[in-house]
Copies of this chain bind each other. A is one copy, B any other.
Amino acid sequence: MKRIGILTSGGDAAGMNASVRAIARSAMSAGLEAYGINYGFAGLVAGDIHKLESIDMDGIISRGGTVLYSARFPEFAEEKTQLKGIEQLKKFGIDALVVIGGDGSYHGAERLTQHGFNSIGMPGTIDNDIPGTDFTVGFDTAVSVALDALDRVNDTATSHQRTFIVEVMGRGAGDIALWAGIASDADAIVIPERDYDIEAIAEKIKQNRANGKDHNLVVLAEGVMSAAEFKEKLDKFGTLHTRAITLGHVQRGGSPTVRDRVLASRFGDFAVKLLLEGKGGLAIGIRDNKLVASDIIDTLENHKHITDVSLQDLNDRLRF
């Protein structure tokens, strides 16, 4: 083992740079070399690969986005493209690859592993929807950015006694909605993992209003429907002065939080440790506050992310 390749893939997440830095620096500390691969699997196949120096990693821990760029590359589903990628890795003398990203990125790492090339998947996505880990790098920052907006919306809602319906990201998962909703004192949190009762939500808002609450908030996961659609449905149950907001892409970027920086640092260092021990074909995660690694093929094929839906019940108990 002499050279580790690193790539970021899929939607960008805050902390991807912290992840790249951790892998590269930890590798260097162990006497290995680190190679950066630009534009994810597309750059891998194209051979857009360069040696990383420690100084290149300086200061990037605090920056959003990814210095290795990212790209969509559906062509990597084809075997011949995968083999072309492995060829490039061998050309650069790279012995193992760490892929930082979400679901799709993991599948790329899985395929390389199936072809015998040692690859590790590291969770980097805002959606927190990766099997094999309680938390992904980027999730804490995304929720923080969403909360910042929700705190501001609460201000405005107060001034006008409005009901804001705020759609947050998360793809098929309700994690961002649940955390952001609890933290922003939402009247209701609506997630794809559970049915919702719109009449009960309208009733709750009216009741809260009757009790003197002067602002109302529904946090809606994008996996359920759009804020505009939800508003339309809710408006049928009375005059709640609704406004629909979609937070959108602004949730992706930004300087990562402490949590995401430390988690990325731990993940990156752990990946290098595993590779040094001769292990591979793994998905890295944190479970019950401990670093874990599981077989990447088994993880992707037999497990799925479990959202902690009990947080919705918690919110119901803490609502006005």
Contacts and interface: CB of A to CB of B under 8 A. Distances in A.
Interface in A270-320: 287-290, 311, 314, 316-320
Taking the full assembly, how many copies of this chain does it contain? 4
A145 interface: yes
A154 B62 contact: yes
B70 A180 contact: no
Given A55-B211, A249-B243, A64 B160 contact: no
Interface string A147-159: 1010111111111
B54 A258 contact: no
A88 interface: no
A185 interface: yes
Contact of A69 (B58, B161, B257): B161
B145 A318 contact: no
A71 interface: yes
A259 interface: yes
A25 interface: yes
A109 B160 CA distance: 20
A30 to B, nearest CB: 8
A319 B160 contact: no
A155 B50 CA distance: 22
A8 B160 CA distance: 11
Given A143-B258, A213-B58, A265-B182, A155 B21 contact: no
Contacts of A155: 12, 14, 63-65, 252-254
A320 B156 contact: no
B152 A145 contact: yes
A316 B158 CA distance: 30
A77 interface: no
A25 B69 contact: no
Nearest to A26: B317
**Which of A69, A151, A268 counts the most chain B CB atoms within 10 A?**
A151
A262 interface: yes
A318 B29 contact: yes
A21 B152 CA distance: 20
Which 10 residue pairs across A and B have the least CB separation, nearest first? A64-B155, A155-B253, A152-B253, A65-B155, A12-B159, A288-B288, A183-B261, A65-B159, A152-B254, A156-B253
Given A59-B154, A143-B258, 11 more contacts: A25-B317, A59-B158, A61-B183, A62-B154, A64-B152, A65-B158, A66-B159, A149-B250, A151-B253, A154-B253, A183-B265
